Amino acid sequence: MRRGSWHQFGDRSQLLAIEQLQQGAGGGVILSPRDLPQHKAIEYAQRYHGLGAHVLIDQQFYVPHFSNPNLASYPVSRYRTQTAQMHQITDQDLAALATELYTINKLLSTDGLIAPAFVYEAGRPDIVQLNAQLFNAAKQAGDDLGIPTYATVIIGRSATSSDQTLSVILSQATALNSDGFYYGFEFIPERIPSSREAVLRCCTAGLTLACTGLPVLHAYAGPMALLSLGFGAKGSAIGHNQNLWYFNRTRWAPPTGQGGGGGAPPRFFSSSLWGTVVYPDEVALLSPALRSQVLTHSPFSQSVSPNPPFVNWSRWDAYKHLVNAICSVVSNIAANNDPRANANAAIALLQGAVDLHSDIAASGVLLRDDTNAYQGNWLAAMNDLLNRHSSDFDYLALLS
């Protein structure tokens, strides 16, 4: 598993990923059958390999009754059915699934096989059993291909509310004969997870997986990619859209027809704030000194004006900038193999973000949408993680 940042596919991600890879941002891509038909996935996988990237595909069994034309183009999709029906899966079905997984991963020349799995829930031993069956089918395909097989461990909200339910699920997931983990955590719906307790549980669960000595890929990490390597993950998956910023089942819900933001202005992702400011409205409110601290640039933000008059900047360029900026920070953190050092790097950046937000507030500027609501809680959660699990970090240091 490549260390550092990965591109998590969502809507219209394929060309964005190419542009990022051309800029040296990211070491791999995770294809999404929801967003790309099979023939296009094969085409783009070749291009990503040509740019030196590793390729994986997430089969996305998370909401099994959802379907769209892209998903339907993959033969594996016939096994994405209601969980109740999947409990009746036969050995013949599993053998056929293994064959389909072998075929699609061979066509894509993937560098690892992400096992399909349903979302783990509290008090659902049936899902545990089903995921074990699906993993065994995937493991057969991965072994036949000669590539590692990663167990998918997506933990649903019913199981994330207590340490006890998390512990039970993690013990079951780590019992699988996997070569690593594709790990995601379902938070309450909000723009960016802000609960100190929930973020700490997410990081603690990831640390537990990392302490197996196997690589962990933090799926749907988004801006939380800053924390991924600090809890022992080897990679973190980054996407441009907010529905890729943590595991969110609404990605596989029928469209509501409400659109995607219309004419909303672009948001500039500031690495120093570890958050966004509205461009140009909020940027214009900042003093020149604060503006120079907030505007942390990437190859996709060079047209952003540091001073009036502020030129136009597209939302798509803002998306590209966000992905590139997060990839850059993750890449810098990944240069050190010690998770404790990675955690401290995240803590240092978050402390700087909290201080800069305080300076902005003291200047009389109030940023929209509570964009400073989570940095302090993430900072506290990472300090809690280091303090409560010092022996785990000592162990990981020996492995690194």
- If asked whether residues 294 and 203 sit together in one domain, one would say no
- Does 199 fall in a domain? yes
Q: Name every residue whose Cβ is closer than 8 Å to that of residue 260 and which is 6 or more positions away in sequence.
A: none
User: Which has the closest alpha carbon to 162: 128, 123, 192?
Assistant: 123
- Counted domains in the chain: 2
Full-model pTM: 0.95
Residue 372, C-beta contacts closer than 8 angstroms, at least 6 positions apart: 273, 275, 353, 354, 357, 361
Same domain, yes or no, for 178 and 278?
no
Count of H-run helices and E-run strands, the chain: 15, 10
User: Are residues 286 and 247 part of one domain?
Assistant: no
Task: Provide the domain limits for residue 356.
Answer: 267-393
pLDDT in the model for residue 305: 84
Do 217 and 271 belong together in one domain? Answer: no
Give the pLDDT of residue 363.
95
Q: Which residues contact 326 (CB under 8 A, 6 or more apart)?
A: 5, 222, 223, 225, 226, 238, 269
**398 inside domain:** no
User: For position 387, what pLDDT does the model report?
Assistant: 97
Distance separating alpha carbons of residues 201 and 122, to the nearest angstrom: 15
Is 107 a domain residue?
yes
- Over its length of 400 residues, how does the chain's per-residue pLDDT go in tens digits? 999 999 999 988 999 999 999 999 999 999 999 999 999 999 999 999 999 999 999 999 999 888 899 999 999 988 887 556 777 788 999 999 999 999 999 999 999 999 999 999 999 999 999 999 999 999 999 999 999 999 999 999 999 988 999 999 999 999 999 999 999 999 999 999 999 999 999 999 999 999 999 999 999 999 999 999 999 999 999 999 999 999 989 888 776 655 445 578 999 999 999 999 999 999 999 999 999 999 999 999 988 988 888 889 999 999 999 999 999 999 999 999 999 999 999 999 999 999 999 999 999 998 876 778 899 999 999 999 999 999 999 999 998 8
Residue finishing a domain among 190, 219, 252: 252
10 Å CB burial of residue 205 (0-12, 13-18, 19+) is buried
| Predicted pLDDT at 311 | 87
With beta carbons less than 8 A apart as the criterion, state whether 55 and 42 touch.
no
Residues 226, 359 within the same domain = no
